[in-house]
Amino acid sequence: MAGVIAESEILETSAPGQGTIGVVALDTYGKIAAGTSTGGKGFERIGRVSDSAMPAGNYATCDAGASCTGVGEDIIDECLAPRIVIRVGDGMSLRIAMEKSLTEAGENKRDLGVIALSSEGSIAWGKTSNVLLAAFHNGNNIGDTLELKSGIQIDCI
Annotated binding residues, written as ranges, equal 48-51, 69-72
What is the C-alpha separation between 86 and 116, in angstroms, rounded? 12
Measure the CA dihedral 111/25/19/75, to 10°. 30
Catalytic annotation present for 20:
yes
Binding-site annotation, residues for substrate: 48-51, 69-72
Which is the catalytic residue, given 20, 38, 128, 145? Answer: 20
CB half-sphere exposure, 104, CA atoms < 13 A: 13
Other beta carbons within 10 Å of 20: 20
What is the C-alpha separation between 45 and 48, in angstroms, rounded? 5
Residues in a beta bridge with 10: none
CB half-sphere exposure, 74, CA atoms < 13 A: 20
Other beta carbons within 10 Å of 88: 26
Other beta carbons within 10 Å of 134: 20
**Which are the catalytic amino acids?**
20
